Amino acid sequence: MNFDIFTMDSQKFINIILQDTFTREDAVRRLRVLRIILEQKFFTQSKDSSLLQSRDISPDDYKIVQSWLSLSPDLFNHINIYKVLNNISNSLDKLPDIIFYVASEINDPLYLAKITQWVREFIAPCALLDLKVDPRKVGGLAFVQEGRLQDYSLALFMKRKRQDILDLIRDYSISPPM
């Protein structure tokens, strides 16, 4: 019975995590931050932030993980910490990855949130993104879902419409519009 409570609470916590975690890389990093914060809380005398600074934790990750804990304050204690963390880690491992090929790095969190919202609405509700940079995807993107590549790049469009584009250019060069 207790294990079911841990699993149920862990699933609620996964839903909390997914509200502001969009990539597999972010999920893994923030789970590490969660472990560090909980170990500091339950197993060390020091409550200052120097431990966190020495572990190279970004202020954004720290703030996000603290917000998770505030939304689920009774999930962890000094006895169950590793069992619950393990359940959460296993649940995260089971979430689908959607590989996204983009032309350049996405550094804007709001843009990444919009992409993730679209993916979770139309492709997979609990997906985590795995972003890959591919400069050939300029003017679009591509993604892999269940082993199938979906390419929506300008390069592929132009390749498919090559003859139409050449005909348009030829027609324009023969008789430009007045």
Count the helix, strand and coil residues of the chain and give each as a percent rounded to the nearest 5: 60, 10, 25
| Chain segment 135-175, per-residue pLDDT in tens | 877 777 778 877 887 787 777 667 777 787 777 777 777 76
Mean pLDDT throughout 46-64?
Answer: 77
User: What is the pTM (predicted TM-score) of this model?
Assistant: 0.76
Within a domain: 169: no
Q: What is the mean pLDDT of residues 106-131?
A: 91
Pairing label, strands 128-133, 97-102 = parallel
Question: What would the two tokens of residue 26 be?
Answer: 């972010």
Report the pLDDT value the prediction gives residue 16, as an integer from 0 to 100. 93
In a domain, 168, yes or no: no
Both 83 and 110 in a single domain? no
pLDDT at residue 3, as a whole number: 41
8 A C-beta contact, residue 38 and residue 65: no
Which residues, 6 or more positions from 9, have their beta carbon under 8 angstroms from its beta carbon?
A: 72, 75, 84
178 occurs within a structural domain: no
Q: How many domains does the chain have?
A: 2
Residue 85 has pLDDT above 90, yes or no: yes
* Residues 37 and 64 grouped into a single domain: yes
CB 129 within 8 A of CB 97: yes
Model confidence at 5: pLDDT above 70? no
**Is residue 12 in a domain?**
yes
